[in-house]
Amino acid sequence: MTNSRKEPYLLFYRLTGIIPDNLDLYEMAMCHKSTGVKDSKGNSVNNERLEFLGDAILNSIVADIVYHQFTDKEEGFLTDTRSKIVQRESLNKLAIELGIPKIMQLSSKNGALHGNNVFGNAFEALIGAIYLDQGYERCKQFIESKLIASCIDVNKMAQKEVNFKSRLIEWGQSNKVPVEFEVIETFHDRRHELTFQTHVLVNGLVGGLGVGHSKKESHQNAAKMALKKLQEDEDFIEQVLQPKPELPVDEEKAELTTENTEPIEVPETTVQEENAEQTNDPIEN
């Protein structure tokens, strides 16, 4: 193996603790679509497919860990705890600590729009690469050592309260974008418990749907989905940040609401008829 070929292997070994069998997978995991890289057949080469796979593998492994750690907890608690562990904020932070930004292939264009989410996405793509290259068990060891053992206290994370609604409202205020929550449906679930379904509008566009046994819970779940969409869907972000055109003023309505509007004259005969109905007296001609 030449020295030029050894360097990438050492790079990913230092990053993951794994010597790759298929180096191309790891290099693809670090390639963002903004680079415009294509293969010999003209197909786009980027980490989106690996990110999709890595996201699923990460959720599966974290679900396995949470399931065995909290043996007396119900489904809702387990789902909530898993979501807190794999939240974008945690993955972005870990990706930066691992040094992913230093080896990430990313176009400088639209850098402000990408933010740091590309690094968390690349971490998920790296998980996808490890899974394809080394298998499920080795991938689980990587997640346990890099994410769980070194960065996250699972018990503390389970007790952490995350106010997604406040975060979304703060985002709207900082970007001068209106955020509105609306309960669109109420129904009884299979346990006959009253359930609320809420959607959240971000600058008039539906950003997320949330279901819960209280309005507060449904708002939180809708906000959580909207935040994820704002972090990952670049088309949605562009639409949301587009200024809304001002509506034209209806000239006819404007005339009716001006101070110079003249009073409406009521015919005298109409007044006489109304008085007659109230007093039951005949109208005098």
pLDDT digits (tens, 9 = 90+) for 188-212: 877 777 889 999 999 999 999 998 8
pLDDT digits (tens, 9 = 90+) for 245-273: 665 555 544 444 444 444 444 444 444 44
Residues carrying an active site annotation:
55, 124
More confident residue, 262 or 106: 106
Structure tokens at 254: 């404007």
Q: What residue type is 233 in one-letter code?
A: D
Position 72 scores a pLDDT of: 84
Q: In 10 A of CB 166, how many CB atoms?
A: 11
Structure tokens at 55: 């996201």
Position 159 scores a pLDDT of: 59
d(CA 221, CA 80): 10
Position 276 scores a pLDDT of: 44
Q: What 3-state DSSP class applies to 159?
A: helix
pLDDT digits (tens, 9 = 90+) for 28-60: 999 988 887 777 777 878 899 999 999 999 999
| pTM recorded for the entire structure | 0.57
